[in-house]
Amino acid sequence: MKCPFCGVEDTQVKDSRPAEDSAAIRRRRFCASCSSRFTTFERVQLRDITVIKTDGRRVPFDREKLSRSIRVALRKRPVEEDRIERLVTGIQRRLETEMEAEVNSRQIGEIVMETLRGVDQVGYVRFASVYRNFNEAKDFQSFLGELGKPGKG
């Protein structure tokens, strides 16, 4: 791991333990070159995932992009930060274990919607409005009408 202070590649791990979310490893490191100490958080990645975008491009899965989109949907909602982090980790694990190495962006969007639906309905509607590209008020009305039907909410 590269030292963030001097850039030397050879740093030593002084302590390793599971992070609070248990999906990452917290490591205290030491750089012998500049005598600095720093912490890294490393996540276990089961396999590389490639996302197939709607225009056909293939891009590597970006956990931070997923995290940002969920945080935007849940902004100012009563959902704690650690719960959001667990949601993101759960979605990533599901993609790594249940899906193929290449995943359609639509599939990811549906998984996010399914997850948000059970967590916060306002966040669910916010995400859906962007994901499904609502352009007019009637798009919201139609979606909310479906949400209110028995077995849908």
4 domain-assigned: no
| CB-based contact 38:3 (threshold 8 Å) | yes
pLDDT score recorded for residue 20: 72
pLDDT score recorded for residue 18: 85
Q: Say yes or no to pLDDT of 140 above 70.
A: yes
> Do β-strands 36-43 and 50-52 pair in parallel, antiparallel, or remain unpaired?
unpaired
Question: Domain check: are 82 and 143 in the same one?
Answer: yes
- Domain region containing 61: 50-147
Question: Domain check: are 84 and 110 in the same one?
Answer: yes
Distances (CA, A) of 153 to 17, 51, 70, 73, 116: 40, 29, 19, 18, 12
Least confident of 25-29, 30-34, 63-67, 134-138: 134-138
Give the tens place of pLDDT for each residue, 55-96.
999 999 999 999 999 999 999 999 999 899 999 999 998 998
- Residues of the chain above pLDDT 70, percent: 92
